[in-house]
Amino acid sequence: MILSKTAETVLRKRYLLKGENGEVVETPKQMFLRVANAIASAEEKYGNDPKPWAKKFFEIMWNQEFMPNSPTLMNAGTPLGQLSACFVIPVEDSIDGIFKALWDMAKVQKSGGGTGFSFSRIRPKGDIVKSTMGVASGPVSFMKIFDSATEQIKQGGKRRGANMGILRCDHPDIEEFIKAKWEEGSLRNFNISVAVTDKFMEAVKKNEDYELINPRTKEVVRKVSARKIFNLIVEGAWRNGEPGLVFIDEINRHNPTPHVGEIESTNPCGEQPLLPYESCNLGSINLAKFVKNGDFDWEKLKEVVQIAVRFLDDVIDVNGYPIPEIEEMTKANRKIGLGVMGWADALFLLGIPYDSEEALRMAERVMKLIREESHKASQVLAEERGVFPNWKGSVWEKLGIKMRNATTTTIAPTGTISIIANCSSGIEPVFALAYKRANVLDGEEFFEINPVFERVLREKGLYSEDLIAKVAETGSVQSTELPIDIKRVFKIALEIAPEWHVRMQASFQKYTDNAVSKTINLPNSATRADVEKAFMLAYELKCKGITVYRDGSREEQVLMIKKTEKEKEKPRRPAKFIEPRPRPKVTFGRTIETKTGCGSLYVTINEDSDGIAEVFVQLGKSGGCAASQTEAIGRLLSIALRSWVNPEVLIKQLKGIRCPSIGFDSGEMITSCADGVAKVLEKWLKGEYKKIKFEVEGIKPLTEFTEKEEGAEKEEKTKMIGGVCPECGNVLEYGEGCATCKFCGFTKCI
């Protein structure tokens, strides 16, 4: 096995076993042996010798041809023993049901799994609660509780939890749900998607109204314009990539066990639709390993598929399940999800452009073979071990096909396992062919280069340090002097039109039992109409869901590639610094209390005739450091506001700042004192607090602010490719419905 430096770092940090003092106590080879032996031990249950299978399992991992999902690599052969990545937990419409789901979520996430929920059964906001004759707060309010709980749980001691939150398009609270993540930092531990029906999508196309239905009474509440709701979804996706769409009817058309139940939700990245309490273990084949001298090795691929299916089926038997309901449902349907990674690298090696009809045909051919061979392998296991318990009544029983597994294929995110395999992620194009990598330990910078790109350049005698430095400025080869054929093949994600992203997803979906995790990357200049076009194309091409991401649309992003010529210009310094207007002798305002994790926070906002003149911030009766920090926040806000800085800009800077103690104020999560101040200030500007009548000296409150010209500041902003990694400070790449750091392996998903 050849491991990159990044892969070595990721393995040491996240996968290799550690001793009591945190020291690494196994090598990568020992890790793969541990995993192979643990999984092959299931063979004994069926009267087989586990040693030959352990050898085969080890070889396909060691050769970087196949990798199981992260929990399997981390936990196989350990006391924790939880090996699955995907779980769906039902949320019933009662306090007991909601908090049972919360408890189940905690158990799953503590063991290293990601959780998906449909909140569609929860009665809408304002509905009657008969037991108390009160009113319901609605699904979004409960999602905030789940989000806060996830914030406090670290998955298996390795990373934060990840959730998918889904609401049906016909739920009365759908507008609130769609807007739930418009505010940066809200529901940060959730991906959210709207479950849209065929009826809804057809109403959008015909510009008709559709019905919103109370899930408690099953009665129609009102009718709304489908186009209006769809436009809100588009707006949110254009703003920051959320919500996505889940085509719930298309999913249930392919539900292999409809007699068991209806699918309502997916796992966090959307590729695994599951029944309530189902889990699924995943694995991915590195397609780049099957390209030999410009040709694809189909026979070798068949062989690896057959071994991988057996591996994943064995995982079900040796798995340690976090709760009994999950074990029961998982073993009843025995779903597995074999997928792919290294697709962009494979196309590079084959000399096929990602955005070409040839690439789409190749995608269908590859995935068709994988599905056919995985079904054959499952049928062999069914003869040897028996069909899955819910086979009778399933689609397979109606077809007369004996299957060991209800499903066999899934295209899942491969963020960290693709780093270990030293290949591109999933079916995504690459985000950059080369870029600067910062070493946070010693402050050095060096180039990270796509290994296939480097190999091709060296083979053609085109490699040079100067060339790589130029490519690293933008991540792209399009502005270089390289030959046209290289420029055509080696395109990066943002150079590929959205239509080709969607068509590639649909090509893989055509031969995938479950679903496909992929992000439709859009340039920053993309319009809302571009988002709508991608959504409608995904629906027409029978995708099971879609996530879009417009480059640079999230505040958390940072510069990772070169600025345009205009952006390079330094902001001009004004002739003299702006002096804040003097503090007025008379101001009028109010003091607002908000709850934080550290106690009651009191924010006093005072206005004069020019607007907000000062802000005072006090945290209860605190003294010392806490008092000085809150005083500092107030002083800086006051100076900035009297210097004519747009208060919306200040709110953005403070909002979402986090401290270890999180509180709730009237159901709203307050992540820190700074966040609490920002939210009070925001509500003040919206007029949510009672207006004050000024009668002294003719002063009137100013309710509108003149926004300062931001030209120079905007020009200083840079083209953005990913977010800031909270662990190493390098770039996060948005792909496969998730954000992943290719440098240290941090991921927000499983």
For the annotated catalytic residues, the residue numbers are 267, 269, 271
Sign of CA dihedral 258, 261, 264, 267: negative
Tell me how far apart the terminal alpha carbons of the chain are, to the nearest angstrom. 24
Greatest CA separation for the chain: 93
Cβ distance 427 to 516 under 8 Å?
Answer: yes
Alpha carbons 531 and 511: distance in angstroms, whole number: 25
Cβ distance 267 to 88 under 8 Å?
Answer: yes
The SS3 of residue 683 is helix
CA atoms within 13 A on the CB side of 294: 2
Q: Residue 492 is inside which H or E element, if any?
A: none
Return phi, psi of residue 735, to 5°.
Answer: -165, 155
The SS3 of residue 577 is coil
Exposed/middle/buried for residue 176 (C-beta within 10 Å: 0-12, 13-18, 19+): middle
Cβ distance 285 to 308 under 8 Å?
Answer: yes
Are β-strands 163-168 and 114-118 bridged in parallel, bridged antiparallel, or unpaired?
Answer: parallel
Return phi, psi of residue 734, to 5°.
Answer: -95, 110
Q: Which residues contact 135 (CB under 8 A, 6 or more apart)?
A: 125, 126, 127, 128, 129
* Encoded amino acid at 3, one letter: L
Cβ distance 609 to 586 under 8 Å?
Answer: no
Alpha carbons 219 and 39: distance in angstroms, whole number: 50
* Encoded amino acid at 581, one letter: R
Alpha carbons 741 and 721: distance in angstroms, whole number: 12
Residues in the chain: 750
